[in-house]
Copies of this chain bind each other. A is one copy, B any other.
Amino acid sequence: MALTLMDDLRMTKKLTILDIAKMAGVGKSTVSRVLTNDPKVKPETRLKVEQIIKESGFTPSKSAQSMRGGSQKVIGIITARLDSPSENKAVSAILEVIYRHGYDAVIMESQFDTQKTNEHLEVLRKRSVDGVILFGFTECDMSEVERWNERMVVIAMDTDKVSSINYDNNGVIRQALYHLSELSLTNIAYIGVDPSDKTTGKLRLDAYLNWCEEHELPPRFATGQLDHQSAYALVDSVLDDDIEAIVCASDTLALGVAKRLQELHREDIQITGVGGNELLSFLFPNIISINPGYQLAGESAAKQLLQQLDGAVNIAHLTQPLSF
């Protein structure tokens, strides 16, 4: 009887809402009411219960709560690559936002693999997470995606099935080109990634091509993979005695280009990248890196998702009677 409390302190036995109720000398439902901030509880009683809860270090079982219909307060994040600096920035921003709202995150890695992505989505569905933030890629299979509706936000991929946050692919390249034009540089080449990649590939290349057309400049470009090796290898193919600058689709590519130009002693050529990579600007201070606002994108995505989730909850409440 009276040993209950001592017992609990002694052995870290799992406390339940019932234990708290006994200790406080009230019914379990009253404790529940306190937990759910139900106004219909005498302030006095509430205070006492809260006291006991604090003292005993009791925490309601998430499993039981979520089974009872509540949400787990968990959102899934599927990144393409865990070690991508740009995605990392976005993820950090996401985490900060959702933590602040009492959510936790389960992070997964798609490795640009459609099947893995779908497997992850499947797992997240089974775990009934509240929502998902997906870092898109071109081959991404939309069939699984649309099942999520309001409960998903994708980053860096165009789709009208779910909400999406996109970097300003066109803007970052134009910004770079504008910057170069301010420096009176006109002979500008471009090194990017294959247009089969819709965003970093096609969109950014198009931005370059459009600019060239607008300004009646002869385009000179090459595309390949998303890594520095690829860019390194492509440099020679666009190089030309009167090239004054090379615009790169990403900082990673810029790194490869810088390396090659250094070898060729063509450090007169101005390079621009995209990403705001700190390491890049340390190694090659003269490279101009446009920051596409990854952290901002992450923050936006998180806020957007949370807002949609809130909306979904409200709608659910409203339609519950109807769906009955």
Contact = CB atoms under 8 A, between A and B. Distances in A.
Contact of A282 (B85, B125, B228): B228
A88 B92 contact: no
A193 interface: no
Nearest to A60: B126
A320 interface: no
Interface in A38-84: 59, 61-64, 66-67, 72, 74, 82-83
A137 to B, nearest CB: 17
Contact of A104 (B88, B92, B123): B123
B279 A228 contact: yes
Given A105-B106, A109-B95, A282 B229 contact: yes
A85 to B, nearest CB: 6
Give the size range of A's interface with the partner. Answer: 35 or more
B283 A63 contact: no
Contacts of A62: 126-128
A174 interface: no
A198 to B, nearest CB: 26
A88 to B, nearest CB: 4
Contacts of A95: 82, 108-109
Given A67-B61, A282-B229, A82 B91 contact: yes
A161 interface: no
A89 interface: yes
Contacts of A82: 82, 88, 91-92, 95
A126 B92 contact: no
Contacts of A18: none
Contacts of A67: 61, 63-64, 67
A91 B107 CA distance: 11
Nearest to A107: B107
Contacts of A249: none
Nearest to A127: B62
B107 A59 contact: no
A323 to B, nearest CB: 8
Nearest to A68: B63
Centre residue among A59, A63, A126, A283 by max chain B CB count within 10 A: A63
Interface string A91-121: 1100100000000111111000000000000
Contacts of A279: 228, 255, 279
13 contacts: A62-B128, A63-B64, A63-B66, A63-B72, A67-B67, A82-B82, A82-B88, A83-B85, A83-B88, A104-B106, A104-B127, A229-B282, A259-B282
The 10 closest A-B pairs by CB, nearest first: A63-B67, A107-B107, A83-B88, A63-B66, A106-B106, A59-B126, A64-B67, A63-B63, A62-B127, A82-B88
